[in-house]
Chain A
């Protein structure tokens, strides 16, 4: 079931196009990673979904229906540029945000209590925001984003400002929300977290969509067909055995008689062909495929895009 359908969105500013005909669909209940370098148009797109700005062309659908003002309460948005009123008390402020999202005062109070306990910040309820550490403020912002339990969460760089412990806390919270059926759109530069928690991704570069699909599909697409082969024997013999169908990309000597070779398959050759070629020369200990990390995919995709050869 689809959650968000973004159709042919175009957004133009005075001197540049921020979004050039973007179409993306996300599934209900998945964590969707919206990726791209700085200035690619992610924030512009997110603001359009949140109806903070209007697109020049195109439509956004939420659960199959054109999005309108009444859908605001169905979205929880954690902007990248986020802050709190410094002079207000923590609890007062959280309450204010919750009520702006349509929660009643008593309802909001009750939920806040649960969340403040969960994040271990109950003692801070009556403190002023200016007394908080950055991580503490980030926790409060996260809470105010999810408090009204919206079916769709849009989190822009949710982990920035957190130490590893709190990053883990928030990550687990995101996964728990997902397990409860919340759809999540995540925009981040932290590729590790993308790999860990995203189901699908879209990659924007220069206002254009250059890549999208499930994480597995994207990884498949960016497979380099490179294998790490650990063997006993002489590296020179191993290298000599390879003919033009294979390329030795890297090697690593473990001890006198053991080494790992990184070999990329070329042409139509398969792993079987490679193994057949080297088996007579060395004793194979293990063979693993080297899959590209999200980091590599990101860099490669953006690079390819820059060189003009758009992927696919």
Chain B
């Protein structure tokens, strides 16, 4: 037992002490938090107000465009009631030099539904949306009044959007976040996929290293091959977990800091401009979206989800890493591993693809089946766990299968590993390897 501990300790410390580990472990969450920050920051950033010249010979807009606050709005509108025949005139004429954007509401607009908007300098998405929304609303109003017998109030009533809300019948009070949750699940699917693949690969490379270094026989004269294999798997698995935990801690702390100091006015609903929010005008939707994202991130049931994720991550890692250790023992150099890795990785890849499909349909039967198959469950079940459809029965069955498979693959891998690590100078065929299973 103490030898196993020694091996785990060596595998763990030699890897954790590496500079590349430190770099990756600290850099990734910083990049994540930085990304979150910049997404929020740039979408909240005040862009310079642009001056929009509305060329409106038909006087559809009637020099009257609704702006709740023309001082801080992204655009200010000015009206020009003559034709400007060529865009060049807008660009070059002294008269128009103060305007940034020109909207050409010519007589063809009602027929071909195309409104050309010319800018001198490219606009931000937010500004573009603002301009479009305002002008569109105004033109619609104009034509509604002109071509129908509706009053403005009636028209605006019709224009009010309907909000279709899908709700869980068992929890009618709650909000339906299935898609968002499934996205989080899928994010962790990807994480599981890469963690398992990356760290199983490390196990394999460790085995090959010991083989090519010829250090393996020295060690197994002191410890059982099984101990060496398990020590390596556990040690490297712990490295992966350490990395993940550091990521979670730094990211979590980073998000908390952002929430406490940078985005407090966004997160706190009392700071929201209720009037702007409630107005039918769609320009605020972008901001609303960000608020929703932030609220979602802070409202997700992380604890239970990460617990499930960890169970499957560990189980999946143990299964795949033992298979990879087996491959490592079968070959003599890393270049020989390619075609052996492929069949082993295939189920993982398949699970990944099923997981991707499950974003749009987390409750699919296919997903349930793949949540039970131990070679795919680690990447698939996180989506079910994220949307809350991984029931206790499914979880129990799936975990039992996971454990049984882990025992099976480890048993097989240990038998093959034991023989393979002492075979120098050749790559074993599957036929030979099956014979190894029977060696005493």
Instruction: Report if B265 contacts A (CB, 8 A).
Output: no
Instruction: Report if B219 contacts A (CB, 8 A).
Output: yes
Instruction: Report if B99 contacts A (CB, 8 A).
Output: no
Q: Are B6 and A82 within 8 A (Cβ)?
A: no
Size bracket, chain B contacts:
20 to 34
Instruction: Report if A75 contacts B (CB, 8 A).
Output: yes
Instruction: Report if A187 contacts B (CB, 8 A).
Output: no
Q: Given A52-B422, A54-B440, A101-B222, do A96 and B214 touch, yes or no (CB 8 Å)?
A: no
Given the complex, which residues of B lie within 8 Å of A54, measured CB to CB?
A: 440
With contacts defined as CB atoms under 8 Å apart, how many contacts are there between chain A and chain B in the complex? 64
Q: Are B213 and A83 within 8 A (Cβ)?
A: yes
Q: Are A82 and B422 within 8 A (Cβ)?
A: no
Q: Are B215 and A83 within 8 A (Cβ)?
A: yes
Distance of A296 Cα from B240 Cα, bound (Å): 58
A70 vs chain B, min Cβ distance (A):
12
Instruction: Report if B168 contacts A (CB, 8 A).
Output: no
Size bracket, chain A contacts:
20 to 34
A102 vs chain B, min Cβ distance (A):
8
Given the complex, which residues of B lie within 8 Å of A56, measured CB to CB?
A: 440
In the complex formed, the residue of B with least CB distance to A73 is B222
In the complex formed, the residue of A with least CB distance to B223 is A100
Given the complex, which residues of A lie within 8 Å of B3, measured CB to CB?
A: 100
In the complex formed, the residue of A with least CB distance to B18 is A87
Instruction: Report if B218 contacts A (CB, 8 A).
Output: yes
Annotate A42-83 by CB proximity to B: 1 below 8 A, 0 otherwise.
000001001011111000000000000100100101110111
Q: Given A52-B221, A88-B14, do A47 and B422 touch, yes or no (CB 8 Å)?
A: yes
Given the complex, which residues of A lie within 8 Å of B215, measured CB to CB?
A: 82-85
Instruction: Report if A1 contacts B (CB, 8 A).
Output: no
Given the complex, which residues of A lie within 8 Å of B424, measured CB to CB?
A: 81
Q: Which of A1-46 contact B (CB under 8 A)?
A: 13-14
Distance of A52 Cα from B3 Cα, bound (Å): 16
Instruction: Report if B10 contacts A (CB, 8 A).
Output: yes
Given the complex, which residues of B lie within 8 Å of A14, measured CB to CB?
A: 432, 435
Distance of A55 Cα from B440 Cα, bound (Å): 7
Distance of A47 Cα from B218 Cα, bound (Å): 11
Contact of B222 among A82, A87, A97, A141 (CB under 8 A): A97
Given the complex, which residues of B lie within 8 Å of A97, measured CB to CB?
A: 218-219, 222
B288 vs chain A, min Cβ distance (A):
53
In the complex formed, the residue of B with least CB distance to A80 is B217
Instruction: Report if A200 contacts B (CB, 8 A).
Output: no
Given the complex, which residues of B lie within 8 Å of A251, measured CB to CB?
A: none
Q: Given A82-B215, A83-B215, A84-B215, do A77 and B221 touch, yes or no (CB 8 Å)?
A: yes
Distance of A56 Cα from B210 Cα, bound (Å): 27
Given the complex, which residues of A lie within 8 Å of B418, measured CB to CB?
A: 53
Given the complex, which residues of B lie within 8 Å of A99, measured CB to CB?
A: 6
Q: Which of B78-93 contact A (CB under 8 A)?
A: none
Q: Are A86 and B213 within 8 A (Cβ)?
A: yes
Given the complex, which residues of B lie within 8 Å of A77, measured CB to CB?
A: 218, 221
Distance of A98 Cα from B310 Cα, bound (Å): 35
In the complex formed, the residue of A with least CB distance to B213 is A83
B414 vs chain A, min Cβ distance (A):
14
A99 vs chain B, min Cβ distance (A):
6
Instruction: Report if B340 contacts A (CB, 8 A).
Output: no
Distance of A83 Cα from B209 Cα, bound (Å): 11
Q: Are A100 and B214 within 8 A (Cβ)?
A: no
Q: Are A52 and B214 within 8 A (Cβ)?
A: no
Q: Which of B11-56 contact A (CB under 8 A)?
A: 14
Instruction: Report if A144 contacts B (CB, 8 A).
Output: yes
Q: Are B217 and A96 within 8 A (Cβ)?
A: no
Q: Are A82 and B440 within 8 A (Cβ)?
A: no
Binding site for B on A (CB under 8 A): 13-14, 47, 50, 52-56, 69, 72, 75, 77-79, 81-88, 96-97, 99-101, 141, 144
Some 5 contacts from A to B, beta carbons below 8 A apart, are A77-B221, A82-B214, A83-B218, A85-B215, A97-B218
